[in-house]
Chain A
Amino acid sequence: MRKLIAFIVLIFCSAVLIISSSEKGMHMITQGRYARSDAWGADKYRFGDLYGISYLSDFRIEKDTHLLALPALKDSVFRDYDLTILGDSYLYSSFQVQAAYFNRVNSVQLYRWSDSQQHLIPAKSNKKQVLLIECVERNMWDRMNLADARLRLDVHQEKLLPIAKTNKQILIDQLDQFDAGVRKAIYHPTLESNLDFVLFNVGYLGWIKEIKADFTWKVLGRTNPDVQVSQDGKFLYLSETIHPNKRGSSFRPIEQKEIDLMVGHLQEIESYYLSHGYDQVIFSLIPNPVAVLETEAKATNLAIQKIVQHPQLKVKIVDPSWSLKQQASLNFYPSDSHWNLRGAQIWLNGFNQELNKLP
């Protein structure tokens, strides 16, 4: 009996560790659980990504996971551009990679910011090439720079720019690489969160998580540190978009020189891509939900507006802030860090207007 118990524990724990340490295993288990809406399905994103972090029962609101409806492709429309998109989850969680959404677009390629290994090489066709660089406010300070742009296009950059290293530095680098390799081989980089998903991310445990979350919030006034409840209690926000010390916060005091620098970066990036095969470059900066919904009793830093209205700005920017602020609460999920389909449609309208203006 004792041996049987030990054997069962060994098999169970080993299976959990093997699955959680393997990309394939995690892919299988996440696909399987996300596809289910019963007690065995995962509730991490079903009710919004911020519910999946906080588990506050007031925000257990079923999320519409459909993508934006695809308009019928009209053959008569003149489609003279190939569109390449570098974007984040605001786009790929709302849109299909289809030209039919976009005015004047013949074909679309979408690259995610996280795919740093893929290169934004313009399509080889007889169409004109337009590049859309889309980024949410909370990440724009880190992502919008020429170094990143170079990395994403210049495949041979490392070979072109050899860095002289001392023997000591080479040895240290080799040791670091060896160390990182060993660690990666025996510990999956996201092992802890994978284990959490495998062991506990199933619908039938949701009620227990909600009791803890509600007790911690309603009695102790705390939530998961990554999430914050809006002052009116109707929305969840990522803490990093609210905390004034965080770089991507809408409440971080911003100096004019930072805005000047960002404008300079946008122009450098545009020039770079224009000189590497693109005919047009359009930027789109998506405001943090808290900056649109204006639920907090303090003024936001108006970062995107300051960039868009900068007198030196020469690049094309799609800023959906003003449009999203019209009936703002209808444009965002209360329990998600993204807009809903209505919000996505508003952005699309603005982007299509910008496409129409292209030569």
Chain B
Amino acid sequence: MVFNSLQFLVFFGIITSAYFLLQPKFRWFLLLAASCYFYMAFVPMYLGILGFTIIIDYFAGIYLERFQGLQKKLFLAVSLAANIGVLAIFKYYHFIDQNVVWLSEQMGTHVQLPVLEMILPIGLSFHTFQAMSYTIEVYRGHQKAERNFGIYSLYVMFYPQLVAGPIERPQNLLHQFYEVHRWDWNRVKSGLLQMAAGIFKKVVIADRLALLVDPTYAHLQDQSSGALVLAAVFYSFQIYCDFSGYSDVAIGAARVMGFKLMDNFNAPYFAKSLPEFWRRWHISLSTWFKDYVYFSLGGNRVSVPKWYFNIMVVFVLSGIWHGASWNFVIWGALHGIFQVIGLSINRVFPSLAAEAQKQVWIQWAYRLFTFILVTFAWVFFRLNHFSEVKLFFQTLLHGKSDSLPLDLNVPELALSLGLIISLCWWEYRRKILGRIQNWPFLFQFSLLALAIYFLGVFSLKQFIYFQF
């Protein structure tokens, strides 16, 4: 079930109203049943995979608390192996197989893994990472093991963030299932507004930009250089609006019922450096890698080469997390390399960087440069094959001379640019625009609903991050 569907609208109405009508002690059961129903809209059978990791992690949590020393480590290893194993089988098996075949052929032989026919369960990387954060936190003693199997299942399966995050931590979410959330009209209103804003980002901006981006990337050889630059910039905003739109709906839907999920985005394209970009983009994943991988490797409290190595490991893993394909690995590696280069320059010219940050125009130059680097890296994220990447850059350098894309509709392009500029302005002047929050709720909500209806591109297009 996707958020931008009528099914979700009706589902949300039923679950939310039933949630507030039910006695608090039964609410977790309603949410768990609703989450199962929500997930079964994709492939019902995959509920079994979720169930498998839930059972393993539930018991692992209890035993992690009960034992110490080697046995404790063993239970953590079992839990992580189960989660990573599921990921490896369902997400990476085909990728591993392809590479084994390629490697063996380079060595003059042919080795192939047994054929497994399966498709990737929706949102697998999200809920396995959320499950792993539970066992790691219990292992570290930051979180008590959850004894109620239903509540633990709900922690992994809570429907607003089940398929595309935010990837929650047990300390933030688990205790909320025990709290009694009363109807708070202000909270409900702000949740509904955030949901509407998320749908606006997805249906009005992201899916509109896709109208230009998709055909351009599908026919790279026919494009001009200008068209490719435009498509690359548009894709940066498409993926941002698509993913942050999903997060907004998830956070808003949870808030209506009284749950507080972590923020996932914070105006990332206003970042003045790549490290800052990663503090603003997909925050729940960035902090996951920081807490559980980067710090575990020693973070920056090691020698400089080891520090750079740690950064590269984190970003390559982040790339692999996104998808079982070399283009994602390269995308992650590029971000790692950019950061390492940036850090090296800062180490050589520490005062220069600090002075430069004081001047406004230089701050904007830094923002622009960061955006260009991020957009450049998105090209590798968007294109799955090396041949396509090669064609992209060949066309960019030697493309047709006409500066406009094929099948360009000028009013549509103008509207798209207008929406991007409005979005940037909104995010940059957010504090000033906070005054809008004082407008009557019905006026704000109706305005958003009308804008969604009249400007929306209703194609039931999946959210990009569902594939991960």
Q: Are B7 and A191 in contact (CB under 8 A)?
A: yes
B159 to chain A, nearest CB (A): 14
Q: Which residues of B contact A222 (CB under 8 A)?
A: 211, 409, 412
Q: Are A7 and B21 in contact (CB under 8 A)?
A: yes
Does A298 interact with chain B (Cβ within 8 Å)?
Answer: no
14 contacts between A and B (CB under 8 A): A5-B17, A6-B16, A6-B17, A9-B13, A17-B10, A175-B45, A179-B43, A186-B37, A187-B41, A192-B6, A212-B454, A220-B415, A222-B412, A225-B459
Which A residue's beta carbon lies closest to that of B18? A10
Q: Which residues of A contact B11 (CB under 8 A)?
A: 13, 17
Does B5 interact with chain A (Cβ within 8 Å)?
Answer: yes
A227 to chain B, nearest CB (A): 14
Q: Are A220 and B13 in contact (CB under 8 A)?
A: no
Q: Are A10 and B454 in contact (CB under 8 A)?
A: no
Q: Which residues of B contact A191 (CB under 8 A)?
A: 7
- Which chain B residues in 411-464 approach chain A with CB under 8 Å? 411-412, 415, 453-454, 459-460
| Interface class of chain A by DSSP | helix
Q: Are B17 and A10 in contact (CB under 8 A)?
A: yes
How far is A222 from B456 in the complex, measured between Cα atoms in Å?
12
Give 1 or 0 for each of B41-56: 1 = CB within 8 Å of chain A CB.
Answer: 1011100000000000
Beyond A9-B13, A10-B17, whether A221 also contacts B412 by CB under 8 A is yes
- Which chain B residues in 10-66 approach chain A with CB under 8 Å? 10-11, 13-14, 16-18, 20-21, 37, 40-41, 43-45
Q: Are B14 and A172 in contact (CB under 8 A)?
A: no
| Interface class of chain B by DSSP | helix
A220 to chain B, nearest CB (A): 5
Interface hub of A10, A187, A219 (most chain B Cβ within 10 A) = A10
Beyond A10-B14, A221-B409, A222-B409, whether A182 also contacts B44 by CB under 8 A is yes
- Which chain B residues in 43-91 approach chain A with CB under 8 Å? 43-45
Does A14 interact with chain B (Cβ within 8 Å)?
Answer: yes
Q: Are A6 and B10 in contact (CB under 8 A)?
A: no
Give 1 or 0 for each of A202-233: 1 = CB within 8 Å of chain B CB.
Answer: 00000010011001000111100100000000
Does A74 interact with chain B (Cβ within 8 Å)?
Answer: no
Q: Which residues of B contact A221 (CB under 8 A)?
A: 409, 411-412
Give 1 or 0 for each of A1-17: 1 = CB within 8 Å of chain B CB.
Answer: 01101110110111011
Which B residue's beta carbon lies closest to that of A6? B17
Q: Which residues of B contact A16 (CB under 8 A)?
A: 10
How far is A208 from B449 in the complex, measured between Cα atoms in Å?
13
Which B residue's beta carbon lies closest to that of A3? B21
Q: Which residues of A contact B6 (CB under 8 A)?
A: 192, 195-196, 199
Does B355 interact with chain A (Cβ within 8 Å)?
Answer: no
Q: Which residues of A contact B44 (CB under 8 A)?
A: 179, 182-183, 186
Does A178 interact with chain B (Cβ within 8 Å)?
Answer: yes
Contact of B5 among A13, A192, A215 (CB under 8 A): A192
How far is A81 from B365 in the complex, measured between Cα atoms in Å?
84
A354 to chain B, nearest CB (A): 44
B32 to chain A, nearest CB (A): 15
Which A residue's beta carbon lies closest to that of B458? A224
Contact of B40 among A2, A10, A12, A182 (CB under 8 A): A182
Which A residue's beta carbon lies closest to that of B118? A172
Q: Which residues of A contact B18 (CB under 8 A)?
A: 6, 10
A201 to chain B, nearest CB (A): 12
B18 to chain A, nearest CB (A): 6
How far is A47 from B236 in the complex, measured between Cα atoms in Å?
42
How far is A182 from B44 in the complex, measured between Cα atoms in Å?
7
Which B residue's beta carbon lies closest to that of A175? B45
Give 1 or 0 for each of A272-304: 1 = CB within 8 Å of chain B CB.
Answer: 000000000000000000000000000000000
Beyond A172-B117, A179-B43, whether A13 also contacts B37 by CB under 8 A is no
Q: Are B20 and A6 in contact (CB under 8 A)?
A: yes
A191 to chain B, nearest CB (A): 6
The 8 closest A-B pairs by CB, nearest first: A13-B13, A10-B17, A195-B6, A6-B17, A9-B17, A182-B44, A179-B45, A13-B14
A173 to chain B, nearest CB (A): 11
Contact of A195 among B10, B117, B183 (CB under 8 A): B10
How far is A31 from B248 in the complex, measured between Cα atoms in Å?
39
A167 to chain B, nearest CB (A): 14
Q: Which residues of A contact B41 (CB under 8 A)?
A: 183, 187
Beyond A9-B17, A10-B13, A222-B409, whether A2 also contacts B183 by CB under 8 A is yes
A175 to chain B, nearest CB (A): 6
Q: Which residues of B contact A186 (CB under 8 A)?
A: 37, 40, 44
A54 to chain B, nearest CB (A): 13
How far is A107 from B134 in the complex, measured between Cα atoms in Å?
72
How far is A69 from B44 in the complex, measured between Cα atoms in Å?
50
B323 to chain A, nearest CB (A): 24
Q: Are A219 and B20 in contact (CB under 8 A)?
A: no
Q: Which residues of A contact B411 (CB under 8 A)?
A: 219-221
How far is A172 from B13 in the complex, measured between Cα atoms in Å?
36
Q: Are B7 and A7 in contact (CB under 8 A)?
A: no
Q: Are A220 and B17 in contact (CB under 8 A)?
A: no
A15 to chain B, nearest CB (A): 10
B413 to chain A, nearest CB (A): 10
Contact of A6 among B21, B453, B454, B460 (CB under 8 A): B21
